[in-house]
Structures are given as C-alpha cells and as structure tokens.
Chain A
Amino acid sequence: MKRKDTVKLISADEMEFVIDKDAAMVSQTIRNMLTSPGGFAETELGEVTFPEISAVILEKICQYFYWALQYSRGKETEFHIEPELTLELMMAANYLHT
C-alpha cells in the first residue's frame, strides 16, 4: 500500500496521515527535512513526527497542502478555516513555514 512517493505525518496524539510527497513539499520545513544531505532519521523512514501538533490541526494542514497544489494548477477555490482552529493553525503554519 505504501507507494514510494508518499510521506507519513504523525500527530501528537499518534494519528497517522499519509500524503503525497508533492503535497508535503508545500511546507518548506518538510521539504528541507526530506532533502537534507544529512542522514536524518526522517529521510530514511519517510515519516515525520510532530509531537506538538494535534491531529485536528494536522488534518487541516494536509487539506491545505492539497488545496495549495490545486490552486497553483489554476483551480481557484476557497479554503475555509473554522475560526476556532485559526490560532493553532497559524502557529503550526509558522512552524512548518507554509
């Protein structure tokens, strides 16, 4: 099931999100992580743990990744954010450099 070009993002409460590498690369941080020349654990295993990001936020972030890809390909839709998530989402975004 695990194809070559996917990564696994694991949230604080141990929820696993499997997304395409392209989507993950929207985040600069993740991109650096995966392309760093050093032999970090992440590159080897193809999975990244985020002990400070909850599952809800992480899920929203994955959705954002896909939406960003769509947007860049021309499909200009809206991305709806629930106001409760806003603060945490922004902090996570800052962290992930997205």
Chain B
Amino acid sequence: MSAQKKKAFQIEAFKHRVVVDPKYAEKTWKILEHAIHEIYNHNASGLSFEELYRNAYNMVLHKFGEKLYSGLVTTMTSHLKEISNSIEAAQGGLFLDELNRKWAEHNKALQMIRDILMYMDRTFIPNTHKTPVHELGLNLWRDVIIHSHAIQSRLQAILLENVRRERSGEVIDRGLMRSITKMLMDLGPSVYQDDFEKHFLEVSADFYRLESQEFIESCDCGEYLKKAERRLNEEIERVSHYLDTRSEVKITNVVETEMIESHIHRLVQMENSGLINMIVDEKYEDLGRMYCLFRRVSNGLVLIRDVMTSYIRDTGKQLLTDPERLKDPVDFVQHLLDLKDKYDKIITSAFRNDKTFQNALNSSFEYFINLNSRSPEFISLFVDDKLRKGLRGVTEEDVELLLDKVMMLFRYLQEKDVFEKYYKQHLAKRLLSGKSVSDDAERSLIVKLKTECGYQFTSKLEGMFTDMKTSQDTMQGFHASHGSDIGDGPMLSVQVLTTGSWPTQPITTCNLPAEILGICEKFRNYYLGTHTGRRLSWQTNMGTADLKATFGKGQKHELNVSTYQMCVLMLFNDADRLSYKEIEQVTEIPTSDLKRCLQSLACVKGKNVLRKEPMSKDIVDTDTFLFNDKYTSKFFKVKIGTVAAQRESEPENQETRQRVEEDRKPQIEAAIVRIMKARRVLDHNNIVAEVTKQLQSRFLPNPVVIKKRIESLIEREFLERDKGDRKLYRYLA
C-alpha cells in the first residue's frame, strides 16, 4: 500500500517539475504583468486572486523570484511615470486634487499587488534583503513623483501658498491639505521634514517677523498680546487639523520667538500700556494673558518679576518718604495694607499664584517697610486704633482677617522689638482706660504674636492681661468685705499692676484730696492684709475720676477727668478762686503735667469748667483760675482730656529709640556669651554672623554695636583676645 502511495507522490512531483522551463517563467510573468496593468487601470474585478497568487507562488518556488521582483519594479516604475505626467499636466488648483487622487489609487493598487505577491514578500525578500513590496511601492512613488523636479517645487509652493492664504483669513480645503501631508509623512519622516516642514517653518518665521513688526508699531501692549495669543492658538489649531503633531512644538517655538521674545522688552516698557500701567489700572485679563504668553519664553517671567519688583519698591519708598502720609499713621498703615491686597489680587488672579512672584512681593515689602524707622510704631498705632474703635460691629471672621493682615506686615518688620515696646505702651493705655473694643480680639492678636515670635515676646503682654483680671477679683473681694463701710463716700476702683509687666512710668507726687485718701487707705490695708511682703504705690498719672458737678443754674453734669484734674477741681469745692501758685502748692503735681491738665480744664472750648484770667492759650505762673458757673454742655456726661495714644513727637520718639537701644545691649551680650560658651574659640566675623542669625527674629543688630559689646565683655573678663591672633576670641569660664 505504501508503495502505491509513494508512486502517487512521485508522479505528482514529476508533474510539477515538467512544467519548469524558461517559458514557464516567462508565461507566468506575463500573466502577472497583465494583472498588474489591469490593477492600475482599475480593472481588477475580473481577475482571480487565487490564480495570481498561485502563479507568484510557483515562480518564487522555482527560483524565479529575481525575475518576478525586477519585473515588478519595471512595471511599477513605468506606471508611475505615466501618473507623474498626468499630475504635471494638471492646472493650478487641481494640482493638489489630482495628486491626492492618484496617491489614493496608487495605495490601493499597491495593496492588491502586495497581497498577490505575499509569498514573495514572505520568503524571497528576507532572503535577499530587498525592500518589501509595500515599501518598494512607497519608495518608487517618492522617487518618481515627489522628487521629480517639476512636481516637487510646485507642490511645495502650493502648500505654502495655501498656508499663507489661510493666515490672511481665507478658507482653504483642509481635508486636502491633510491628505497631502499625510502622504508626505507616510513616505518617510525625512520626506515630510525636508520637503515641507523645513520650508514651512522658514516661511512662517518670516511671516511672523513682518507681522510682529507691523503690530508693535500700531498697537498698544494689551492689543498686541491679544493678537499674539490669537496667532498662537491659530497655529496650534492648524497643526491639529492638517499637520503632523510633532510640528506643533516647532511652529509654536517659531511664533513665540518672533512675536514675543524679540519684542519682550519693548512690550513690557511700552508707554502708557506696558506692564506698570497694567498693574496700576488693574487690568487682570491683560496681565493674565501676558503671564501665559511670557511663560512660554525663557526669561519672560523673570523680566515681569523684575519690573514688578522695582516698581513696588519705588512705590513703597515713595509712600514711606511722603511727609503728608506720615502725618496720619493709621491712614499710612491702611495704605500699606491696601497696597498688599492689590498685589495679592494681581498675583492670584492674573499670575496663577506663582510662588516666585509671591516671594518677590514679600521681599519688596520687607525692603521698603524697613526703610522708615518709624514703621513699627505706626503699625502698633494702627492696631491700637482698630482695637479702640475700628472693630466695633465687625464680625469675628473679619476681625481675624484684619489681624492676620496686620501679622503679615509685622513679619516684614526687621525691628520687632521696637514694635513690642510701642505695643506694650499702647496696650497699657487701652487696658487702663477700658477702651478696648473686644477682649477676644486682643487676646487673639497676642496668640498670633506668640506663634510668630515665641513665648518670651508675649509673656509680659499676657502678664498685663492677668493683672487686669486679678484686679477685678480683688475689687470684688474688697467691696464684699468693706461694702457697708463706704456708704456715702466715693466709689473706688483699683487696678493692681505688676511692675515688671507694665511699661515703666516715673512715680510722681500728688496730694489726693481728703475725701479720697480715706478710702485709699482702706484699700491699701485690705490688700496688704491678703498679700504680705508687697509694696504698693499709687500711680496718679494714669487714673481717671468721675465727678458730679452742679453749675450756676443748677445744671448737673457728670465730668470724666483724670486724677490730676480731679485733685484740682476738688479744691474748688472750698474756694471759688485760686491762683496757679496755690494750686501747685496744695496738689504738688509736677509742673508740666499740671500745666497740661489746667489747659484742658480751662482753655478748651466746650470743656472749660474753669475760667482763666487772663484769657490766653498758655498757662503761666501768674494765672488765676475761677470756677465757671456759666458752663453749659449739651451732654450730661462730659469727658475732659483723656489721653489717647498719639503719634510721638520727635523728642519722645528719640527717647523711645534710645531705650530700645539700651535694651538691645544686654540681648546682644547674652547672645555673644551663649555662642562663645558653645564654641569656646571663634573669630570676629563668625561671631558677628552668628549673633545676627540668632537675633534676627527680633531685630537686626549693628556690627559696630556688636564689636563694642565684645570689648565690654572683654573688660568684664567674660572673653579674652587670643595672644597670637588679634581677631580670635576665647571664652573664659
């Protein structure tokens, strides 16, 4: 049985081999050539795939692959030449159309041919390292048509012409453009790049250069930016519609370079519409646009930042040196806050909260706030004003917001200890006169300061609050135990202050009237009874009194006066007329204070419960004072001469400065000793650097002052100079 089968095999094989002769190859090839012709002429429907496939298969199988391949090349080339001619013949606008159509047809034909010749593709070609059919087809197309001289230049010209037309606003056939570019891309990336992209970029660069020149002459900054943005978006759209995506980056670069980068300085500094004007006029949209566009260009943002910083510094400096502004500190600080708000808004809305801009803003503010040495005082006054009356009726959130803003300004200060001093003074006055609008607000601010600067900063301030609370309790106790004793006598309310926490005041002499003395003694005994070992002294320069006064026609008024003024007025209970000298003698109030208090009692319109002879503005030793029977006022309660926190006069300012300097000395010394104890040996420059670093949260120490302190420490034998090196210091235990 197997023999029979073998025979069957043999016969079949033999049958095949018989057919192999040169003619066979020629015949087969003819069939295939004919088929290819038909395919190109769109006549493929009559053919049998299987037959053609089989023919190709046989040719390759019988080692006629070479013939097949070269035949294929020749046939295709001749066809393509025909096609090329027909394309060239096409006129004007139809050129692209024709090209596109023929390309589509070619592709189709190519695929069919490839399918038929699949076997050759699979076996013959890898073995001989020839290009596969498909690729071959593309290459031939490229060589014969695209790179044919006439067609190449024409194609380029038309494509670029189309782009130019679209840029001027005409509508072109985008689909067609898309197919053509796709064709170029299919032919190989280098074809696309060399034949089209390169020239496209060049032409675009020229185009935009011209256009930007035109625009910048005729438009202002905002307009120009709008136009630039529009062009940029256009190009991106164009790429998405009919260009290769990799071109996007390249063309946007071109636009950016030509339209933005080359004119960047001019844009920013443009008269009446440049960056500064935009900031001043709060043109958020324009600023936002500028930000986005400049972000694409290297150094674009840096430029904006620099210009903005120098402008802020200039405005700030102006504000700080303007004498008009400096007259009203509250107004001044409000202006600062408004300025900060404005720039914050610009950064959030137009510059997308860019951190670098935020930093630039902070450093500028820090710079110019510290230009004026009175800034700490002003900020403290601002807070004082707000806490006295400005925060009345404001919601809790708004209070918090305002305090946070103040804290922001506080952070910019370099001389925080000056601020502390002023704040203490103002706080003392607020607490003692009971003028604070909201206790919560006060405390909240203290907490914020504590978070910012540490416990030490606020310990004394907190001490003041504690004293007030303790005093309240003490008073309650006092009234509870002595309430019955007082009866008709004057009502006393005492605040007991711990000397260390409150700003130091010189103790002044003052003789209290008899009526008051009695109850004061009672209180003193009561207090010392519960707290032994303490010393109490009356601070007569800080107290207030409420007096009930009856005038000539029986009008009763309640007068709110300072303690000094009370002493003076009580004298008039016994006499109608007193000379200055007499008053001075009895009350023993210091001269300047006495003069001030008499001035407010006699010379101020509407509050002149005393009459002065002679009627002049100033008080001199020879004046006499009379009780003013004819005093009238619309209000029942009259307030006379309460001392509100004011901007210090020059000499006072000097005095405070001096005290601050004095306070700084021990702090510097303590820092030096700390550092030296740790390091043992250190040279001069390093000490200065370390001290500055340690103290910078409070103030900026002057290197000269540091040097002086070092020398003082050497004298007191805390440090010694190294014998060999004069700049080296050593710690002495």
Contacts and interface: CB of A to CB of B under 8 A. Distances in A.
Contact of B50 (A39, A44, A50, A87): A50
Nearest to B2: A84
Nearest to A40: B49
Given A42-B48, A42-B50, A37 B112 contact: yes
Contacts of A51: 54
B57 A95 contact: yes
Contacts of A37: 108, 111-112
Contacts of B118: 28-29, 32, 97
Nearest to B45: A39
A68 interface: no
Interface in B31-51: 39, 44-50
A40 B439 CA distance: 96
B57 to A, nearest CB: 6
A48 B50 contact: yes
B44 A40 contact: yes
Contacts of B50: 33, 42, 48-50
Interface string A41-77: 1111000111110000000000000000000000000
Q: How large is the interface on B (under 10, 10 to 19, 20 to 34, 35 or more residues)?
A: 20 to 34
B192 interface: no
Interface string B120-131: 001000000000
B691 to A, nearest CB: 81
B111 A40 contact: no
Given A36-B111, A49-B50, A44 B45 contact: yes
Nearest to A45: B48
B115 interface: yes
Given A42-B50, A95-B57, A32 B5 contact: no
A84 B122 CA distance: 28
B53 interface: yes
Given A36-B49, A41-B45, A84 B57 contact: no
Interface in B79-129: 108-109, 111-112, 115, 118-119, 122
Contacts of B636: none
B52 to A, nearest CB: 8
A36 B472 CA distance: 103
Contacts of B207: none
Contacts of B119: 95, 97
A46 to B, nearest CB: 12
Contacts of A40: 44-45, 47-49, 112
Interface in A1-15: none
A52 B115 contact: no
Contact of A33 (B12, B46, B53): B53
B9 interface: yes
Contacts of B44: 38-40
A36 B57 CA distance: 17
Contacts of A28: 118
Q: How large is the interface on A (under 10, 10 to 19, 20 to 34, 35 or more residues)?
A: 20 to 34
Interface string B1-39: 010010001001000000000000000000000000001
A42 B49 contact: yes
A91 to B, nearest CB: 9
Given A33-B53, A87-B9, A41 B112 contact: no
Given A39-B45, A41-B45, A50-B50, A97 B111 contact: no
Nearest to B5: A84
A39 B43 CA distance: 8
A47 B333 CA distance: 94
A38 B113 CA distance: 9
A37 B118 CA distance: 14
Interface in B43-76: 44-50, 53-54, 57
Contacts of A87: 9
Nearest to A54: B12
A38 B50 CA distance: 13
Interface in A68-96: 84, 87-88, 95
A26 B109 CA distance: 25
Contacts of A39: 44-45
A33 B45 contact: no
A41 B53 contact: no
A87 B45 CA distance: 34
Nearest to B123: A94
B428 to A, nearest CB: 91
A25 B28 CA distance: 27
A42 B109 CA distance: 17
Contacts of A43: 49
A88 B47 CA distance: 27
A29 B9 CA distance: 25
Contacts of A29: 53, 118
A38 B48 contact: no
A14 B46 CA distance: 21
B45 A97 contact: no
B31 to A, nearest CB: 14
Given A32-B115, A32-B118, A97-B122, A41 B54 contact: no
A22 to B, nearest CB: 19
A55 to B, nearest CB: 14
Contacts of A32: 115, 118
Contacts of A49: 48, 50
A41 B49 contact: yes
A33 B54 contact: no
A8 to B, nearest CB: 12
B544 to A, nearest CB: 100
A38 B108 contact: yes
A36 B114 CA distance: 9
A25 to B, nearest CB: 14
B593 to A, nearest CB: 107
Contact of A36 (B5, B9, B112): B112
Interface string A11-35: 0000000000000000011001100
11 contacts: A29-B118, A37-B111, A37-B112, A38-B109, A41-B45, A41-B48, A41-B49, A48-B49, A49-B48, A49-B50, A88-B9
Enumerate the 4 nearest inter-chain pairs by beta-carbon distance, A residue then B residue, closest first. A39-B45, A38-B112, A38-B44, A40-B49
Given A38-B108, A51-B54, 11 more contacts: A36-B111, A36-B115, A37-B111, A38-B39, A38-B45, A38-B109, A41-B49, A42-B48, A48-B50, A88-B12, A95-B54
Interface of B: 2, 5, 9, 12, 39, 44-50, 53-54, 57, 108-109, 111-112, 115, 118-119, 122
Interface of A: 28-29, 32-33, 36-44, 48-52, 84, 87-88, 95, 97
